[in-house]
Chains A and B, each alone.
Chain A
């Protein structure tokens, strides 16, 4: 701890604009050695952009970046790495076709005789790093086949592997991790803090901010609100600084939920009987009703996403039958499901959600257009109408409906995907981690929206790693463990009971 409290990163008066968007305006930021510094703000506040400026992905329009009190121009991410800045970007850029081990050690593979890659050493090495993070898995499997959480872990492991790291940047590393994995990650970064590494930590989970950080810097609309000692700030104060007004808390969510539970249809909209798929999920029963929100809770890999895929027809069950409106479903494909009135907002935003080159408008109308078919092309006027409607409804931060969606901030991309599925006006809406990467204010909005949709007579399936979110929105909670449905709760249940069901009998 010799070097603690020494400023390692100093950013002064940073400006950055993208064509018509002023992403950063006169932002100051400092990071000390041996501290965990949380960077928070709403979706589109400029957090990721600030990181990109620090790590050489983007060059600032104005302002100074100092490393170790020395003025520096960081030319590229590679350059940043050379001077000891290791980064996990919000959109993990790993190679889905390579193995987990290769992804972690790419470019630094251990060599045999200085010529060929020593596969065994590489796999051992990767396994060890992952174990430190509390993840135990076959590191030789292809990364693309792993869950988003594992991919995120691999990205973190990759950043940690660099030995000479002085600054570690984590842009929403925990957005798809469950509690135990987050704990493991925190242990690791606390250890790094002890050894004098400076850590920048971006997240929308305020609990995590308070749990782990020493200082907090708040951004709003590309401007600096301030930097605070974590201990000197109360949670509500922080929220107010982030969104510029006080949040009308989760006000009467419970009330709304109670009221809306009056409207649940007794007849099932969709019924799954003994439905299962070998290697994916064990046979389960599930009935979904119009007007009801059913939450799927469970750890990562417990089979939540697998159920969503079966219901939406991405996978075809090899056991059991699914009936909708009393008819047995025979054709399984996303298109068939959409025509039946089912929508799935998928878990993996980057791979399964956004179509980056296309504009916000095109992304929003995509599924709707798929339903209409090839020859009933929506008129431009109608397209803009729909896009503008959802931009307003979900508060999507974008300069216009014609912005390529890849230029939006992570949380706003997520909202665009949500809009795509809301636009199909489904009868059954399956949401797999719909609030991933979405800021506190918007999260509450989306939860309310889900209840509202149920009240309008839609049936919703809500999947989330955050238990309290599931509990707040769901009328009924289905718990999964190890690819198996283990329990179902309706009415009033308390958190420990559900936690117990999720975790198993120990």
Chain B
């Protein structure tokens, strides 16, 4: 029975719903703001020629969220959740800036620091330190969840709260400003007219996909999320599967933090990555992964994150004031919940089925 109808294959694909939702928003934009899709070429004195426009912005500004959503997908697929990603973004950002800034946070900020293009630590080491910090945070979460058997929501809450404190300790409670152009490149540079962050996202996405679909990690993750006991009985070390998911998520958040601080030339322990955990969870849910775990699709979560940013950019482009953004987002959340509820799924499913069977009858 390989020849399932084309129609059904599309509908059953995990990407169908997220993509459909994205196209609806894009179609809305196309009608209301024909200019929305305009892409210009801009010549930047520092970073060279590049594309410029809303669509580029969505991907460039959305890169940190997309990265975090990729990590969050794995965690949610195991049946958990990671509330600490926002805090890990802050830690990573603080780490990066403190290693660059010779003031290390305790010396008086001199003018020199803000004008001299310099770093205290070589760039590769900064990147490694960032990633290591993220991995350590993830490992901590993973150990709490898998070994100490603390519920994921509670376990990651610890770092969610403590993490911002750690970030502030690192920067000595200040908002760290940096001036080191090679570091800025991650958030502001361009390769072949496109933002560097898009390439970073692509690379992480490909690595995650390879990890998940070309090894048995994806299968094990889905199995753990669906039935942990049966998975254990089948000889899979479900603890290590969870550990890996949280660690990977921590690393993703660290990369997001790096791009973040690079983008705004500073680190602010209090505000970097604020509410990112919630947006990432929403992105994963839009991507069709159940909060209870099981089946997941990384690409669908990526689309989910893109939807959130498309929505945000749309709201801004419509001239809605920033304060109202949260209210607008609430509408998005409500729509998602409605659209994804069992009831409406079944309804639409039935609608499709009827069409599907007609197709079959005709063919």
C-alpha gap A378/B237 in the complex (Å): 18
Cβ contact within 8 Å between B230 and A355: yes
Cβ contact within 8 Å between A366 and B215: no
Contacts of B233 in A (CB 8 A): 314, 334, 344, 346, 352-353
Contacts of B216 in A (CB 8 A): 369, 372-378
Among candidates B217, B225, B236, residue contacting A335 with C-beta atoms closer than 8 Å: B236
C-alpha gap A122/B223 in the complex (Å): 37
Whether B174 sits at the interface, judged by CB under 8 Å, is: no
Segment 325-344 of A: residues with Cβ below 8 Å from B: 333-335, 337-338, 344
- Closest chain A residue to B237, Cβ basis: A335
Whether B229 sits at the interface, judged by CB under 8 Å, is: yes
| Most chain B CB inside 10 Å of its own CB: which residue of A19, A335, A367, A374 | A374
Cβ contact within 8 Å between B235 and A338: yes
C-alpha gap A47/B231 in the complex (Å): 29
Contacts of A370 in B (CB 8 A): 220, 234-236
Contacts of A353 in B (CB 8 A): 230, 233
Whether A111 sits at the interface, judged by CB under 8 Å, is: no
Whether B278 sits at the interface, judged by CB under 8 Å, is: no
| Range class of the A interface residue count | 20 to 34
| Most chain A CB inside 10 Å of its own CB: which residue of B2, B4, B217, B230 | B230
Contacts of A279 in B (CB 8 A): none
Whether B257 sits at the interface, judged by CB under 8 Å, is: no
Cβ contact within 8 Å between A377 and B214: yes
Contacts of A355 in B (CB 8 A): 222-223, 226-227, 230-231, 234
Cβ contact within 8 Å between B234 and A366: yes
Cβ contact within 8 Å between A356 and B227: yes
Segment 205-250 of B: residues with Cβ below 8 Å from A: 214-217, 219-220, 222-223, 225-227, 229-237
Whether A20 sits at the interface, judged by CB under 8 Å, is: yes
Q: Could you give, for residues 374-396 of chain A, a 1 whenever the CB lies within 8 Å of some chain B CB and a 0 otherwise?
A: 11111000000000000000000
Whether A265 sits at the interface, judged by CB under 8 Å, is: no
Minimum CB–CB distance from A269 to chain B (whole Å) comes to 19
Contacts of B227 in A (CB 8 A): 351, 354-356
Cβ contact within 8 Å between B215 and A357: no
Contacts of A20 in B (CB 8 A): 1, 4
C-alpha gap A90/B295 in the complex (Å): 25
Whether A400 sits at the interface, judged by CB under 8 Å, is: yes
Among candidates A357, A372, A374, A377, residue contacting B294 with C-beta atoms closer than 8 Å: A357
Cβ contact within 8 Å between A369 and B219: yes
Among candidates B215, B217, B229, residue contacting A352 with C-beta atoms closer than 8 Å: B229
Cβ contact within 8 Å between A366 and B2: no
Q: How many residues of B contact A (CB 8 A)?
A: 27
C-alpha gap A376/B215 in the complex (Å): 7
Contacts of B4 in A (CB 8 A): 20
C-alpha gap A354/B233 in the complex (Å): 10
Minimum CB–CB distance from B234 to chain A (whole Å) comes to 4
Contacts of A367 in B (CB 8 A): 234-235
Cβ contact within 8 Å between A351 and B1: no
Cβ contact within 8 Å between B223 and A334: no
Minimum CB–CB distance from B278 to chain A (whole Å) comes to 25
Q: Could you give, for residues 41-66 of chain A, a 1 whenever the CB lies within 8 Å of some chain B CB and a 0 otherwise?
A: 00000000000000000000000000
Whether A446 sits at the interface, judged by CB under 8 Å, is: no
Contacts of B219 in A (CB 8 A): 358, 362, 366, 369, 377
Cβ contact within 8 Å between A377 and B234: no
Whether A420 sits at the interface, judged by CB under 8 Å, is: yes
Given the interface pairs A372-B216, A374-B215, the reply to whether A334 lies near B234 with Cβ below 8 Å is yes
Whether A399 sits at the interface, judged by CB under 8 Å, is: yes
Whether A109 sits at the interface, judged by CB under 8 Å, is: no
C-alpha gap A357/B214 in the complex (Å): 20
Given the interface pairs A357-B222, A362-B219, the reply to whether A334 lies near B235 with Cβ below 8 Å is yes
Contacts of B214 in A (CB 8 A): 377
Contacts of A19 in B (CB 8 A): 8, 353
Cβ contact within 8 Å between B226 and A356: yes
Whether A371 sits at the interface, judged by CB under 8 Å, is: yes
Contacts of A376 in B (CB 8 A): 216
C-alpha gap A98/B312 in the complex (Å): 44
C-alpha gap A8/B120 in the complex (Å): 85
C-alpha gap A19/B294 in the complex (Å): 22
Minimum CB–CB distance from B273 to chain A (whole Å) comes to 30
Given the interface pairs A355-B223, A356-B226, the reply to whether A377 lies near B235 with Cβ below 8 Å is no
C-alpha gap A378/B216 in the complex (Å): 8
Segment 243-257 of A: residues with Cβ below 8 Å from B: none
Given the interface pairs A352-B229, A374-B216, the reply to whether A420 lies near B234 with Cβ below 8 Å is yes
C-alpha gap A376/B216 in the complex (Å): 7
Contacts of B232 in A (CB 8 A): 334
- Closest chain A residue to B8, Cβ basis: A19
Contacts of A378 in B (CB 8 A): 216
Q: Could you give, for residues 190-217 of chain B, a 1 whenever the CB lies within 8 Å of some chain A CB and a 0 otherwise?
A: 0000000000000000000000001111
- Closest chain B residue to A383, Cβ basis: B219
Segment 437-485 of A: residues with Cβ below 8 Å from B: none
C-alpha gap A357/B232 in the complex (Å): 16
Cβ contact within 8 Å between B236 and A357: no
C-alpha gap A351/B233 in the complex (Å): 10
Minimum CB–CB distance from A466 to chain B (whole Å) comes to 23
Given the interface pairs A377-B216, A399-B1, the reply to whether A351 lies near B236 with Cβ below 8 Å is no
16 A–B contacts, CB within 8 A, in A order: A19-B8, A333-B235, A334-B232, A335-B236, A346-B233, A351-B229, A352-B233, A355-B226, A357-B222, A357-B295, A362-B223, A366-B236, A370-B236, A374-B216, A375-B215, A375-B216
Interface residues of A (CB under 8 A from B): 19-20, 314, 333-335, 337-338, 344, 346, 351-358, 362, 366-367, 369-378, 399-400, 420
Interface residues of B (CB under 8 A from A): 1-2, 4, 8, 214-217, 219-220, 222-223, 225-227, 229-237, 294-295, 353
Apart from A352-B229, A357-B222, 11 more pairs, CB < 8 Å: A19-B8, A334-B232, A352-B233, A354-B227, A357-B295, A366-B234, A367-B234, A369-B216, A370-B220, A377-B215, A377-B216
8 interchain residue pairs of minimum CB distance: A370-B235, A338-B235, A335-B235, A357-B226, A357-B294, A334-B235, A367-B234, A370-B236
